[in-house]
A and B are shown apart, each in its own frame.
Chain A
Amino acid sequence: MFSFLLFRMGLLLGLCVFFLLGGVWAVDRGNFKTCNQSAFCKRQRALKPGQSSYRALLDTLELSDSRLTLQLINDNNKVHLLLELYRLQGNITRVKINELKPLKPRFEVPDVLIGEPPTEPLSVLSRDDNGLVLSLGVESQRLIVSARPFRLDIMEGPEVLLSLNSRGLLAFEHLRLPKEPQLHCQSAEGGGKDKEEDGLWEETFKSHTDSKPNGPTAVSLDFSLPGVEHVYGIPEHADNLKLKTTDGGEPYRLYNLDVFQYELYNPMALYGAVPVMLAHNTQRTMGIFWLNAAETWVDISSNTAGKTVFGKMLDFVQGSSETPQTDVRWISESGIIDVFIMLGPKPSDVFTQYASLTGTQSFPPLTGLAYHQCRWNYNDQDDVKAVDEGFDQHDIPCDFIWLDIEHTDGKRYFTWDPHKFPQPKDMLQGIKDKRRKMVAIVDPHIKVDSGYKIHNEIRDKNFYVKNKDGGDYEGWCWPGNSGYPDFTNPEMRAWWASMFAYDQYEGSMENLYTWNDMNEPSVFNGPEVTMHKDAMHGHWEHRDVHNLYGLYVQHRATAEGQIQRSGGTERPFVLTRAFFAGSQRYGAVWTGDNAAEWDHLKISVPMCLSLGLVGISLCGADVGGFFKSPSAELLVRWYQTGAYQPFFRAHAHLDTPRREPWLFGPENTALIREAIRQRYALLPYWYQQFYQAHKTGQPVMRALWVEYPKDTATFTIDDEFLIGRDLLVHTVTEEGARGVTAYLPGLGEVWYDVHTFQKHNGAQNLYIPVTMSSIPVFQRGGSIIPRKVRVRRSSECMENDPYTLFVALSPQRVAEGELYIDDGHTFNFQTKKEFIHRGLSFVNNVLTSKYSNFSTKSWIEKVLILGASKPSKVTLKMDETSVDFEFDASMSVLTLRKPGMNAGADWAVVLL
């Protein structure tokens, strides 16, 4: 919720003149660096493919059971590097490159991996003067190390899966003393002596000078992916799902930034960064995880793209020019090279592999998947009460009401405005009486104010980030002059977590959750609206840890605080704007400050799909759009879309007119009500998808190609998506739409319209006429989806309600699904195994449910079997009672009336 307040503040600071220059609704690109304006990127990008100056010194090879080390030498400057190779369990290869003897340690990213990844034995198959061949264990996979120049190829059988440094773009700027005559390491290779001005030891952007006490420290490496034409991932960018080639344009940038009014379809950096790229073709899916938290740029080129556009210009590509190939290059400003190559081969394998490294999606409390009502700002307690009542008056379900920064006493987080929110507990109790929850924002910038307890304690404990001169770093944010706690410090995080205790956070209650905004971190008067790179986090420069900061804020700091306040029993719910690899373990993210425009609605799909591919499933966009004011049509369509996206929250800018769901006339109120109700009815399915994501790391909101990896028609689709495997959603994101064309994948499969139960064949483009009430959603034939069709005012009210099973038969007249039930909010599912997880199957006209070790009051109210034929009789197997049924011949829908068995019991229903 970066806003015009920044604008005001900018005026105060006299640094934001740019806002005055027309184009109020577009990002000011001049405020953010291009590759050319970022010295290391410019330097590295100037390096052209060719003979690499790096050579492997084979006689330095050391091989322990699971680790191979080898020195590399740069023939230009004789600096030695140490290469480490690991074979990790689950078909992952790790490649680490660092200086053999750096002047001082270089930063290695901590706390992102969930542990030291378990290794598997490596063995040398053959070896000669030119290189060596290592066995990667399974499936005849080999790793070939070429010595001169240094290069790695991962092969399976005769096929090269992936090559490193095949284009010779490995670059490792070694640490050096300031006085050292510049040896022009690899980076200056092509440029001779005219590179003095390249910002090796100091760099200025706009009015900010970055002192670079460590000099140039960039690292870079190229990867070639033969046979690959589709790469995905490296969020966060407001761009299509399939990544574009960057030849002749800007590279994709990964640098967490608070971008005011971001532009769409553009590789500029946004609030979060996950340095993970997926490569896919019909045969295989692979992933590259570049574990580096510094500013990073990614170049992508493709010979197929080149052929259409640039002809033969890209003839450096090795191998046959007929084979499609994608080349990728990663460039980071500091740290080391630490790459995890996830070899798939299936998409689900890559997700499992990545999850084994960085963990899975946190399992949110069920309520977190329900509807959230937010606005900057609900004015006061009465306003909150009126909004809460508004939902009941209009019979619209809602679980959460959110409070933005204005609820605090002068932007001092953990406090309440004494006039507007004098009795926060009364307010929270009123909300609790409705079995609803609230979220209050807690941002990581702390007002420098000696009357503010939080500030005093952080200062006294020396927990603030330091500036380059050793004093507390200060910058401008909402409260004015602010300090930034050093969340990379575990002691700081522990202290921060303790601030969420009920006796510390005055006015808080168990139904108050947290939102971490501005944690890129946003510094209004900092370079690119963020922290100076030469600020210090203990020994490390901000340069090294920048992209990690947001994760730490949300990390054990805030999420852990919420766990602790409950004595470790309750699951937390924390929303963050900034994120990094591993942030999935701590809560929800949203796509930041979007706008009430149709294109922003549209882009929410690829943005969340991209996040899902790299582990972050709990993603959403501000429903309605943050900036500007949506038309009623756009708002309705956005609700209809948001209802089928994981994190479902409406939000609005301070300056926009109110837009609670009932303010757009009865017809639109009804449309919005219906969309939200569809969400609530489907909560059991959403919840079980998140349980699965938590267990396995599979994305919840899924790109079609993930489930249909051999169907090339799915590879670029990003206007529709799957929820789990079984629901296909193509929401309407065009103004005045009369119809949409949805691609139904799966040759030989069938899909059922969830509203009409009409059956459609897979592997076809289906034109669907739409009205304002249409939300085109299809259930896969062969699946069983549980719903709770008794929608109530909040999810908690629906806890004990019965289920209706939607059994959608495949052409083979079988179906399977599952039912997951637990208490919805504690860790008991984990610590005490208190959950019901039943397999449901429909085979040979018998629907069965098996296994559980938890009890529930919920029962099975109704079963709909789609694509059925009429039975003569339906019985419950356990007591042979017969079950009433109805059969709708026109849609082939068999409805079993009230079979009535407990949802946790073993049972079988037989169609005779």
Chain B
Amino acid sequence: MKSITQMLVMMILVVGFGSAVEVLRPRGVPLSKRQFYEEDKPFTCLDGSRTIPFDRVNDDYCDCKDGSDEPGTAACPNASFHCTNSGYRPTFIPSSRINDGICDCCDTTDEYNSGAKCENTCRDLGRKEQEVLQKMAEITKEGFLLKQQLIQEGKNGQQEKQNKLNELQNSKKELEEKVEALRTTVKETAEQPEKEAKERHLKAWEEQKAAVQAEKDKNKMAEAFLELDDDADGLVSVVELQSHMELDSDADGSVSEAEAQALLGGVDRVDTAAFESVWSNIKDKYVSESQPVDAAPADATPEEIKEPVTDNDSDQYPNDEDLPEEEEDEEDEDDDYPEEDAPPTARTPEKKDENEEAMPPYDDATQALIDGAQKARENFEESERALRDMDDQIRNIEKEISFDFGPEGEFSYLYSQCYELTTSEYIYRLCPFNRVSQKPKYGGSETNLGTWGTWAGPESNKYLVMKYEHGTGCWQGPNRSTTVKLTCGKETVVTSTSEPSRCEYLMEFITPAVCQEPSSTDPQRNHDEF
């Protein structure tokens, strides 16, 4: 439209501190570029591509490729318009927003010919921004102080950890030596004599058992001889033997003469002395005539004997009581020490006591050796346990130390802490450097929204965003993950959660640890340019 295509030079009224200054320049030109737009001189496009008469500046037709001839109209697609926004922040808007019926500049200068009713809101905005900035500055200031503390605490903590680690590593060395020493002690000094004493004891007992057995055997033979010697002539004959069907060695249903003779060593009869060798051949088969239905005593061995029941008190295992406060990671380690460290076996024989053939109790000397060895073992095990605990501690500390807690360790205080936020449906839980989870408020199981992945902020400051990944999978979707955005504040608190995209969560987290040092020139930077 021709009416708006005239050269528009506007008058800018800048309200400073009590003084008014008029600055003439073409519409949409920032003061910093004013010198390029000199009235009555040909205008050279700012990219130098061409020179046009000055009346073609802001004539609502795009002549320059870079759009610089139309800073105050919408004619060039790539141009931008400068709003002075007195009282607030000056800004550039794309020139497509000039006269589009929408108020973009708070000083209304972008809508000079659209009929849009815009109100100058710059002062309001400026005041509000001022307030916000003030508040922010205060928060930042306090936050930054807190951060210094956190840094100090972090450093101290880190130092402590390092010291502890060194200490532990030293103690570990000692402990290792001790364990080695104990191992030797147990093996050589305590277990060897114990073993020998036990063996001695066992041997004596076994010899005794053999003697008893031999005696029993002899008695049995005598009984058998008497039984067999039906005619009581002091000799066992072939005929006498033939009545014992169990001795039917060829299983033809009868004990033939030849079989009986063979059993008697090729003679027709034997006396008591010769019966000894016969007996040894037949004693396993021989059935006593006086006990026709034998209760098969061999099978009657009491049940208990089969399975020595070890009263397996698990209390005796190395356990948690002296582990450090960290409890999360130990599960897997428990299993590294299988049941070989079984409880003392010395107790088990007592259990077999009912058996008539039970081993007699150890004599005092042997028992003393056993007790000594047991004690040594326990010592050894305890030391080993202590060593493992120490390893755990070292691992935990090393793990903690290995986290990137920020350039000055300011995030270290978040370690092993958890922060919750309750919404209408869920309780969200952020455990920094560990995991994020979600639990329905009214029952239901917890869902893992991601475990600690990495710092993921912009290049300028990666410590503004945390990324938690590989949470519980979604139907037809990715594994859940959470992005945690950190902003400066005095407290440490989760302020909001959302799920902008299915299974991709966003959490806002306030912490002093990201508070920047307030710049000394602030906060009065929002002035008009001069």
Contacts and interface: CB of A to CB of B under 8 A. Distances in A.
A177 B100 CA distance: 70
Interface string A859-885: 101100000000000000000000000
B94 A419 contact: no
Of listed B96, B474, B475, residue having the most chain A CB within 10 A: B96
| Residue in B1, B61, B97 whose Cβ sees the most chain A Cβ within 10 Å | B1
Contacts of B477: 655-656
B406 interface: no
B344 interface: no
B2 interface: yes
B77 interface: yes
B211 to A, nearest CB: 76
A900 B77 contact: no
A793 B498 contact: no
A434 interface: yes
B502 interface: yes
Contacts of B97: 792-793
Interface string B435-478: 00000000000000000000000000000000000000011111
B61 A861 contact: yes
Contact of A435 (B2, B77, B101, B504): B101
A791 B61 contact: no
A898 B61 contact: yes
Interface in B68-122: 74-75, 77, 94, 96-97, 100-102, 114
Given A433-B102, A791-B77, A654 B502 contact: yes
Given A395-B94, A796-B101, A797-B101, A655 B475 contact: yes
Contacts of B96: 395, 790-793, 797
B102 A862 contact: no
Interface bracket on B: 20 to 34
B425 to A, nearest CB: 9
A862 B504 contact: no
Contact of B102 (A419, A435, A655, A897): A435
A123 B296 CA distance: 122
A168 interface: no
Interface string B340-353: 00000000000000
A900 B2 contact: yes
B499 A379 contact: yes
B102 A902 contact: no
Nearest to A794: B100
Interface in A647-705: 654-658, 677
A593 B503 CA distance: 21
A470 B100 CA distance: 57
Contact of B1 (A7, A24, A859): A859
B290 interface: no
Given A859-B1, A897-B61, A792 B74 contact: yes
Contact of A4 (B74, B476, B498): B476
Contacts of A797: 96, 100-102
A800 B474 CA distance: 49
B170 interface: no
A510 B500 CA distance: 28
Contacts of B77: 677, 789-791
Nearest to B423: A419
Nearest to B114: A800
A419 B424 CA distance: 9
Nearest to B478: A657
Interface string A777-799: 00000000000011111001110
B442 to A, nearest CB: 16
A179 interface: no
A395 B78 CA distance: 11
A419 B498 CA distance: 13
B35 interface: no
A801 B75 CA distance: 9
B501 interface: yes
Contact of A857 (B1, B5, B474): B1
A383 B500 contact: yes
Contacts of A383: 500
Nearest to A7: B475
Interface string B500-520: 111110000000000000000
Contacts of B475: 4, 7, 655
A401 to B, nearest CB: 15
B457 to A, nearest CB: 17
A790 B73 CA distance: 10
Contacts of B474: 655
Nearest to B99: A800
Given A657-B478, A859-B1, A898-B5, A793 B100 contact: yes
A690 B201 CA distance: 111
Contacts of A789: 77
Contacts of B476: 4, 24, 655
A367 to B, nearest CB: 14
Interface in A807-866: 857, 859, 861-862
Interface string A631-661: 0000000000000000000000011111000
B52 to A, nearest CB: 10
Interface string A1-44: 00010010000000000000000100000000000000000000
A861 B100 contact: no
A802 interface: yes
Contacts of B503: 655
A337 B424 CA distance: 59
A792 B5 contact: no
B227 to A, nearest CB: 80
29 contacts: A24-B476, A379-B499, A379-B500, A434-B102, A435-B101, A435-B102, A654-B502, A656-B502, A657-B478, A657-B502, A657-B504, A658-B500, A677-B77, A790-B96, A792-B97, A792-B100, A793-B97, A796-B101, A797-B96, A797-B102, A802-B1, A857-B1, A859-B1, A859-B2, A861-B61, A861-B75, A898-B5, A900-B5, A902-B1
Given A656-B502, A797-B101, A802-B1, 15 more contacts: A4-B476, A379-B498, A657-B502, A790-B96, A792-B96, A792-B97, A796-B101, A859-B2, A861-B75, A897-B63, A898-B59, A898-B61, A900-B2, A900-B5, A902-B1
Interface of A: 4, 7, 24, 379, 383, 395, 419, 433-435, 654-658, 677, 789-793, 796-798, 800-802, 857, 859, 861-862, 897-898, 900, 902
Interface of B: 1-2, 5, 59-61, 63, 74-75, 77, 94, 96-97, 100-102, 114, 424, 474-478, 498-504
Going nearest first, the 5 A-B pairs with the smallest beta carbon separation are: A797-B100, A658-B501, A898-B61, A792-B96, A655-B477
